[in-house]
């Protein structure tokens, strides 16, 4: 796949990257990139927004939304790190579902309509993303709802500033336990900065979409 990507855009001087990880990998190759920008995955602001939820949980709930695949095996670490009486709610499905459900403090509700995912995110106390090499769309969705987010790995520091608009954990039970405790006590300022950061990316994506549309229309007219 990477070789196909290189062949397809190997001579493109202007690039938009989904994350710093992808950007750094690409720029290490011998490409003629004059200018670039990083835009996280977008989100539907009609579904993911701060506020209340129609769903109520009876215990502190940590949420993960996404495919339950092998690249998210860090969920096993999160489950082990949960304080006593907390629950890890998995919204999604995938080949590792049974593996994750072996933990007594894990509940999986399977795939849900997008609108319901938004409801579950807003109802959760903390949202997590236990992956070390990308910035999935769920991260932007969590932030846009004003949720305290715990993301794994220092690579995400361009998107989440530890203690400012979210929290960054390392891949250990001790680190996750400490960061989950910090997250559930997150101040209103942290939650507000989470919304602001997601909103700024969303606004920039809208401007970029408009610009690309105008450029395409002009190009079609000239041609």
pLDDT value for 148: 95
User: What are the DSSP calls for 107-124, one per residue?
Assistant: EEEE---HHHHHHHHHH-
Distance CA 196, CA 141 (A): 12
What does pTM read for this prediction?
0.77
Helix (H, G, I), strand (E, B) or coil at 169: strand
- Write down all domains in the chain, each with its CATH number in brackets: 1-39 (no CATH), 61-196 (3.40.50.2000)
Low-confidence ranges of the chain (pLDDT < 50): 1, 218, 222-223
pLDDT value for 36: 76
Q: 101 burial class (0-12, 13-18, 19+ CB within 10 angstroms)? A: middle
pLDDT value for 113: 96
Give the residue carrying structure tokens 């720029």. 27
For residue 183, give the nearest of 103, 109, 82 by alpha carbon.
82
CA-derived radius of gyration, the chain: 19
Instruction: Give buried/exposed letters for 59-92 (b at 16+ CB in 10 A, else e).
Output: eebbbbbbbbeeebebbbbbbebbeeebbbbbbb
Instruction: Count Cα atoms within 13 angstroms, Cβ side, for 189.
Output: 2
Residue 165 to residues 15, 23, 140, 143: CA-CA distances in angstroms?
27, 23, 12, 8
Give the residue carrying structure tokens 């995912």. 117
pLDDT value for 222: 45
The DSSP element (H or E) to which 209 belongs, if any, is helix 188-222
Q: Say if CB 141 and CB 166 are below 8 A apart.
A: no
What token pair was written down for 159?
Answer: 């998107």
Distance CA 19, CA 21 (A): 5
For 52-99, how does the pLDDT look when each residue is reduced to its tens digit (9 = 90+)?
999 999 999 999 999 999 989 999 999 999 999 999 999 999 999 999
């Amino acid at each position: 796949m990477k070789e196909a990507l290189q062949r397809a855009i190997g001579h493109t001087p202007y690039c938009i990257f989904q994350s710093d990880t992808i950007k750094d990998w690409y720029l290490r190759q011998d490409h003629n990139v004059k200018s670039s920008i990083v835009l996280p995955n977008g989100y539907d602001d009609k579904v993911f927004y701060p506020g209340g939820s129609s769903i109520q949980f009876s215990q502190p709930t940590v949420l993960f939304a996404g495919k339950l695949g092998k690249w998210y095996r860090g969920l096993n670490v999160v489950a082990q790190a949960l304080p006593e009486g907390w629950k890890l709610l998995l919204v999604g499905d995938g080949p590792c579902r049974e593996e994750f459900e072996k933990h007594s403090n894990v509940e999986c509700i399977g795939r849900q309509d997008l609108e319901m995912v938004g409801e579950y995110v807003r109802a959760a106390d903390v949202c997590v993303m236990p992956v070390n090499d990308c910035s999935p769309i769920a991260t932007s969705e969590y932030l846009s709802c004003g949720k305290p987010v715990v993301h794994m790995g220092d690579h995400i520091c361009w998107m989440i500033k530890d203690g400012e608009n979210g929290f960054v954990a390392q891949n250990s039970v001790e680190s996750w336990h400490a960061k989950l405790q910090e997250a559930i006590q997150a101040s209103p300022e942290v939650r507000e900065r989470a919304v602001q950061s997601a909103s700024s990316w969303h606004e920039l994506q809208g401007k970029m979409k408009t610009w690309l549309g105008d450029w395409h229309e002009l190009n079609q007219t000239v041609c």
